[in-house]
């Protein structure tokens, strides 16, 4: 599955570090998403960039900051994270306003905050 | 609010059929999806069904939708050990931008 790629695949960081997750989609889509997957919880939508509009889940802490420089690239900037932020972070993309807007996912970045 | 419920675990023997069930609450959902997640991997789209359909078949996969009861099922015929994974049901919402509401996932364990 190479339509949506994510780097790094694994990341360990301390609470005072600053790091960024990267996502790239090669499907020509016009919407990209960040999800958080924690153990025993449903996938949580964090951010959506769709047709140059940004939508965010109001429950996401400000220590997570997304950036979408163009329709193919999406970043998630991380700073002063907490141990409870350890999770799998999944990126997805879709074609908005198409007949169906199926989301295609990347492999995820497994994040561990110490 | 929107909620998607799934049973958490299913165990079958290789060669049997597996049926994974899902209930949802948003009657305005346009599409319903099944995703598969293998250990350490992202979500792989398996299949989806449009809300005005009641059945969709794709090789070993059969999706049944009962819109009246808001019940969705995924049947896997001739289940193989490689089908062992977590299966997520998801519904789309009509909130002006494309979002999905996921269930917590059903872990399918296929034994030889």
Q: What is the pLDDT of residues B7-26, one digit of tens each?
A: 999 999 999 999 999 999 88
Do the chains contact at A45 and B33, CB–CB below 8 Å?
Answer: no
Residue-level pLDDT, tens digit, chain A, 114 residues: 479 999 999 999 998 889 999 999 999 999 999 999 998 788 899 999 987 788 888 889 999 999 999 999 999 999 999 999 999 999 999 988 766 778 999 999 999 999
Report the candidate in A7, A76, A78, A77 with the shortest Cα–Cα distance to residue A35. Answer: A76
First to last CA, chain B: 41
Element (H, E) at A88: strand A87-94
pLDDT at B47: 93
Confidence of residue B98 (pLDDT cuts 50, 70, 90): low
Do the chains contact at A94 and B43, CB–CB below 8 Å?
Answer: no
Do the chains contact at A102 and B33, CB–CB below 8 Å?
Answer: yes
Q: Which residues of B touch A48 (CB under 8 A)?
A: 97-99
Do the chains contact at A100 and B31, CB–CB below 8 Å?
Answer: yes
Report the candidate in B108, B41, B46 with the shortest Cα–Cα distance to residue B80. Answer: B108
Closest chain B residue to A90, measured at CA = B42
Query: Which residue in A40, A103, A108 is closest to B100 by CB distance?
Result: A103
pLDDT at A51: 75
Instruction: Give CA–CA dist B90/B29, Å, rounded.
Output: 10
Residue A2 CA: distances (Å) to CA of A6, A104, B34, B53: 10, 10, 20, 30
Do the chains contact at B40 and A100, CB–CB below 8 Å?
Answer: no
- The tokens describing B86, both together, are 């977590």
Closest chain B residue to A87, measured at CA = B40
């Amino acid at each position: 599955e190479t339509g949506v790629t994510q780097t790094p695949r694994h990341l360990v960081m301390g609470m005072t570090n600053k790091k960024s997750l990267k996502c790239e989609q090669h499907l020509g889509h016009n919407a990209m998403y960040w999800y958080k997957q924690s153990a025993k919880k449903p996938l949580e939508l964090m951010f959506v960039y769709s047709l140059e509009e940004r939508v965010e889940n109001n429950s996401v802490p400000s220590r997570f900051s997304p950036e979408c420089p163009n329709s193919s690239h999406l970043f998630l900037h991380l700073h002063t994270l907490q141990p409870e932020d350890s999770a799998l972070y999944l990126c997805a993309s879709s074609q908005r306003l198409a007949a169906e807007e199926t989301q295609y996912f990347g492999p995820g970045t497994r994040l561990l905050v110490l | 609010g929107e909620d998607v419920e799934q049973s958490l675990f299913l165990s079958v023997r290789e060669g049997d059929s597996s049926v994974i069930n899902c209930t949802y609450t948003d009657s305005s959902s346009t599409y319903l999806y099944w995703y598969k997640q293998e250990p350490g991997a992202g979500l792989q789209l398996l299949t989806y069904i449009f809300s005005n359909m009641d059945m969709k078949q794709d090789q070993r996969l059969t999706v049944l939708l009962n819109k009246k009861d808001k019940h969705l099922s995924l049947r896997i015929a001739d289940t193989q050990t490689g089908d062992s994974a977590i299966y997520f049901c998801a519904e789309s919402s009509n909130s002006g931008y494309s979002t999905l509401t996921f269930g917590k996932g059903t872990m399918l364990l296929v034994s030889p």
